[in-house]
């Protein structure tokens, strides 16, 4: 594992860096679930988890190691534009598919995201204020934290033991499954509700989206285009939410 530039001392831990990173992946998934399914006051836990994801490589890896997971400039600036286009197009396709199959019903994954926004203490805010605040958060925290962790650190750690293809499929599957917290599993006053069909469709979309982010990371030799794609996806998703799905 020293091939990715792990700082001295971390290898002495039980399970080494491999066990530490996998344990962190499980911990952040539990924090995400608590943030999404717990009281509205807990929503900030997800932002804290994203910050921890972004900072972890600086804690564990030396400078060559951080470059090895993609914390460097892309091969060409055009990859950033490719990332932005990929994310915006993917979000629009997700909106179109959800609208075609479910209209503005609960089966549409973006409706679930909108309902989560509506649980926040924002009484009296205009739609423009809501759009700006929620989009600002959405294009900063999860794109930076999740891409550095999933497409960067987790991908590289898994590659060292399982090879590039299995690592990409593994991190993409985990990324997709944790997004059930955003659609597919719903906690409400009446209890827990499972949306098996639309939830499975959402997981499949997140899996494919993750593969697209991983492709950008691999081809550009940088995590930045994947971050750009993730930010563009979230920005476009919110655009559709506030333009078409937000109650008048």
Question: Which residues neighbour 11 within 8 Å (Cβ) at sequence distance 6 or greater?
Answer: 1, 2, 17
pLDDT at residue 34, as a whole number: 95
114-123, 149-158, 163-172: lowest mean pLDDT where?
Answer: 114-123
Give dist(CA 11, CA 21) in Å, integer. Answer: 12
* Among the listed residues 77, 23, 29, the one whose alpha carbon sits nearest the alpha carbon of residue 176: 29
Q: Is the pLDDT of residue 95 over 50?
A: yes
Q: Is the pLDDT of residue 174 over 70?
A: yes
Q: Is the pLDDT of residue 71 over 80?
A: yes
Average pLDDT, the chain: 94
Q: What's the pLDDT band for 2 if we cut at 50, 70, 90?
A: very low
For a pLDDT cut of 70, what percent of the chain falls above it?
Answer: 98
In which region does residue 70 sit, left (phi positive, over 0), alpha (psi from -120 to 50) or beta (all else)?
left
Average confidence (pLDDT) over 6-28: 87
Average confidence (pLDDT) over 226-235: 98
pLDDT at residue 120, as a whole number: 87
Q: What's the pLDDT band for 129 if we cut at 50, 70, 90?
A: very high
pLDDT at residue 248, as a whole number: 64
Tens of pLDDT along 99-114?
999 999 999 999 999 9
Give dist(CA 168, CA 230) in Å, integer. Answer: 16
| The total number of structural domains that make up the chain | 1
Give dist(CA 11, CA 17) in Å, integer. Answer: 6
Contact between 112 and 106 (Cβ < 8 Å): yes
Residue of 40 and 201 predicted with greater confidence: 201
Residue of 106 and 248 predicted with greater confidence: 106
State the pTM of this model: 0.96
For residue 174, give its domain range.
2-245
Structure-block tokens of residue 183? 């659609």
């Amino acid at each position: 594992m020293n091939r990715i530039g792990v700082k001295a001392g971390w290898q002495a831990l039980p399970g080494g860096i491999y066990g530490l990173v996998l344990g962190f992946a499980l911990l952040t998934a539990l924090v995400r679930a608590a943030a999404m399914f717990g009281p509205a006051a807990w929503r900030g836990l997800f932002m804290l988890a994203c910050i921890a994801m972004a900072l972890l490589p600086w804690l564990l890896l030396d400078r060559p190691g951080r470059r090895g997971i993609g914390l460097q400039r892309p091969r060409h600036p055009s990859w950033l534009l490719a990332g932005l286009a990929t994310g915006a197009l993917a979000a629009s396709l997700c909106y179109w598919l959800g609208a075609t199959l479910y209209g503005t019903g609960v089966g549409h994954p973006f409706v679930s995201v909108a309902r989560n926004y509506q649980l926040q203490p924002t009484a009296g805010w205009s739609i423009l204020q809501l759009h700006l605040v929620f989009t600002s958060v959405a294009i900063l925290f999860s794109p930076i934290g999740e891409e550095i962790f999933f497409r960067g650190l987790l991908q590289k750690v898994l590659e060292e033991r399982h090879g590039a293809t299995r690592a990409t499929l593994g991190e993409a599957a985990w990324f997709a499954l944790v997004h059930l917290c955003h659609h597919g599993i719903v906690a409400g006053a009446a209890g827990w509700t499972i949306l098996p069909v639309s939830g499975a469709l959402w997981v499949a979309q997140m899996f494919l989206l993750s593969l697209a982010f991983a492709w950008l990371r691999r081809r550009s030799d940088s995590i930045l285009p994947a971050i750009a794609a993730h930010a563009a996806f979230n920005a476009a998703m919110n655009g559709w939410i506030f333009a078409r799905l937000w109650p008048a």
